[in-house]
Structure formats: C-alpha cells, structure tokens
Amino acid sequence: MILAILLAGVISCQKELKFDPVDEPDHNIVLRFKPVVQFDSVEMKFDTVTYKNFFKEAFTVKAFKFYIHGIEFINTDSNKTYPIGNEKYFLVDFADSNSIKLKLTVLPYKYNRIAFTLGVDSALNVSGAQTDALDPAKGMFWTWNTGYIMAKLEGTSPVSTAPSKMFEYHIGGFKQAESVIKRVTLLFPFGENVDMKSGKTTEINVTADAYDWFNSPHDIKISANAAVMTPGVLAQQIAENYSKMFTVVEIIND
C-alpha cells in the first residue's frame, strides 16, 4: 500500500512538470546580396549616383533585380551537396530591402561552394502567372509574351537613343534555342568556409555587379542597344555577361 502511494505521488509529480516551449530557429544561413558597380566595397545607389560602364558610357540605375532558385551548398573535398528546396524561388530586388536577405536552412556541415540557378525554369514559364516571388505584380512577367523576365536592369544614360534617355534590359527566354537560364557556382574567399554548427547561424555576403552586364565576354553598349526586351541573341549575350556578376565577399560564422 505504501509503495502504491509513493508511486502515485511520483506519477502525480511527473504530470505536473511543465516545460516552456523552445523556439526553434527558422533558418541557420542568411544569404545577403549587395548591389555594386565595379567596386565590391561600395554599395550601388539608385538614381543619385552616375556610374560608367566598360566603354565609359555614363549611366544611373533605376531598377536591378533577378530570380534565383535551386540553391545548393557544396563541399568539394567530400563531394557532398546539400540542396535548399529546389522549388523555392526568390526575387532579389535591390529596391526592396526585404528581398536581399534570403533566410535558408542547411544541414550542419562544412561547405566551400554555393550554387544556384539564375532565372525561372521552363516548366513555370509555360504554366502562366504564379504566386509569391513569381507573382506578376512583381513586374517580372511578360503579359504580352509567355514567360518570365529572368533579370532586369533599368536606368538612364546620356548616350541612350531611347525616349527620356532610358536604357532597359529585360532579359528572358526559356526555349532551348533562346534560353537565358544560367547555373552559377561561387567559390568562397580564400581560406573561408561555411562551418555550420548545430544551433549556430552563418551569414554569406554576395555582391552583384551591374558593371558586368555590359562586357566580358560580350560587348554591350548602351549607345547601340538601349533596349533589350525580347528573347534572342542579345538577351543571351547579356545573360552570359551577368551570370558572372556575383562574388562571395565575406562569410561570418557564429
């Protein structure tokens, strides 16, 4: 009888034990993009600052945005790859500060590369307008032509022959012969890795250089091409140029 009473008391005490809920972090990686023009240390400014491209053509920037998805973290030493939700699309719009920080979750491990796809896959281009980052309200969907604008750079230049001295590069094209979809793999700075530990957060800072839209390997002069707004050879050339605009400049491990 005494044993039964003791057991009942223990069970009663156990039932009374309460634990405060622990908030689990919704991410452990912050991928932060910063717009620049030629110099990685200086952030690009909209409208108020005049820059020069490779051909010494002056320009200001009014819009700079692009789609990415299929993010992967890579360890080349072990040949291991960790994908981050391949179906998740992000629109990086440098006019929207909320869009330049991507919050991701990866398996705790050590990584020395990051890869992602620049653009929107062909299947979604033929499925009509989507939602979230792919919502037409984001200004990246051609209502007059099936498909998404994969990347956009707009501004003004005194050498432009377009009305109001505008230049507009709306780069799209998903069909095989005119595709501008690019897979990008970025190395980390020498000696730096994502050293992801359980319960810790890492920040990766990446620059996107508008200067690279105009050259290397293809020469794109505003004076000759102030507007590129349809799929085709010029769009493919610009896409090849801007696929090289990214640089990982800093990794901050907790």
Residue 59 lies in a domain: yes
Residue 174 lies in a domain: yes
pTM: 0.87
Report residue 73's pLDDT band, with 50, 70 and 90 as the boundaries. very high
Closest CA relative to residue 134, chosen from 72, 66, 197, 198:
66
Q: What is the mean pLDDT of residues 149-173?
A: 98
Q: Which residue has the tokens 């790859």?
A: 81
- Beta strands per DSSP E along 95-140: 101-104, 110-111, 113-118
Q: Is the peptide bond before 83 cis (omega within 30 degrees of 0)?
A: no
Report residue 25's pLDDT band, with 50, 70 and 90 as the boundaries. low
Residue 50 scores a pLDDT above 80 = yes
Closest CA relative to residue 169, chosen from 177, 184, 180:
180
Maximum pairwise Cα distance, the chain: 98
Question: For position 130, what pLDDT does the model report?
Answer: 84
Residue 8 scores a pLDDT above 60 = no
Q: Contact, 167 vs 156, CB < 8 A?
A: yes
Question: For position 53, what pLDDT does the model report?
Answer: 98
- Within 10 angstroms of residue 207's Cβ, the number of other Cβ atoms is 22
Residue 11 lies in a domain: no
Residue 5 lies in a domain: no
Residue 95 lies in a domain: yes
Residue 198 lies in a domain: yes
Residue 10 lies in a domain: no
Task: Tell me the residue range of the domain where 78 lies.
Answer: 27-253
Residue 245 lies in a domain: yes
Tens-digit pLDDT profile for residues 175-192: 989 999 999 999 999 989
Tens-digit pLDDT profile for residues 194-251: 998 888 899 999 999 999 999 999 999 999 999 999 999 999 999 999 999 999 999 9
Q: How many domains does the chain have?
A: 1
Tens-digit pLDDT profile for residues 202-218: 999 999 999 999 999 99
